[in-house]
Structure 1
Amino acid sequence: MKANPRRSPEVLWAQRSDKVYLTIALPDAKEVSVNCEPQGLFSFSAKGLQGELFVFSLELYGPIMPEVCKTQVGLRNILCSIQKEQKGWWERLLKSEEKPAPYLKVDWNKWCDEDEEGSTSDSASDDHNAVYIGQDDGSSDDEGMLYLPDLEKARGN
């Protein structure tokens, strides 16, 4: 019996004080399965366009609240919003201090520094939703997805 090769899709991540956002780049994914466990274990599996299996697991930096985690499957990406158990900034995405797998990258378009998040809520309400563009606001799957050219430029540097 021949085993199916397993692959890992590109995963972009960003955080806020209360959530971690994962954008899994897997166009036309089928049979998407996401599992979040309280101690911070995040598991993903899906089939790609040609039926190939994509699987990965992450041991996140801290505990999470699985009952509040959300997944939105779009045409090009799977967006996961993971609620942290305690509000605060994680030093990194993963519990391990080792260098993360090559498929894990920072999502600079959704990234918000700790001091930026605090200053947006302290300032006059110019556009306090600007920090949350592309998050779980029920908007189009494609909103905020035009970052791939920027990602390519970043890789070239």
Structure 2
Amino acid sequence: MKTIVRALVAVLAAILGFVLTTVGVTALLAPQIEFSLLVGLPVGVYAGLTALFATFVGLWYRDQTATGTPTEGVTRGLWAAGGAVLGFLGTVAFGLGLYLGAGMSMGLTVLLFGVPAVLLVAGVVGFVAARLDRDGDAGRRFSSG
């Protein structure tokens, strides 16, 4: 799959993730919060960005696996994408559970500030992991396909 097709599919997944998450969180919080869209929009943006990254890296990994052995950088990127998705889902579940289950406004704080913090940490950890232990491997720096 060419890079442009991979990017377009990732953008479509990001839009879908954004819309579904925004509508879901907004609808879930609507009975408790009058302006629940102000919580749903940022969480939807985080979901869309996570879906964009995970879909692009996942398709890149799939393409390299189909043509042979994937490079170490793509494999690490796949692990970083998986970590970002798990971090996002865990943080959203924790924030919504804290707010809806315990009725604590701290849950909203977790949703609005915890999710981007988790994604930032996942990105930094993925970047560091991709740079460590390369043992002189120049590797590919861009996709030509």
Whether the TM-score (by the shorter chain) exceeds 0.5 is no
Structure 1 or 2: more strand by fraction:
1
Rg (Cα) greater in structure: 2
- TM-score between the two structures when normalised by the length of structure 1: 0.27
- TM-score between the two structures when normalised by the length of structure 2: 0.28
Structure 1 or 2: more helix by fraction:
2
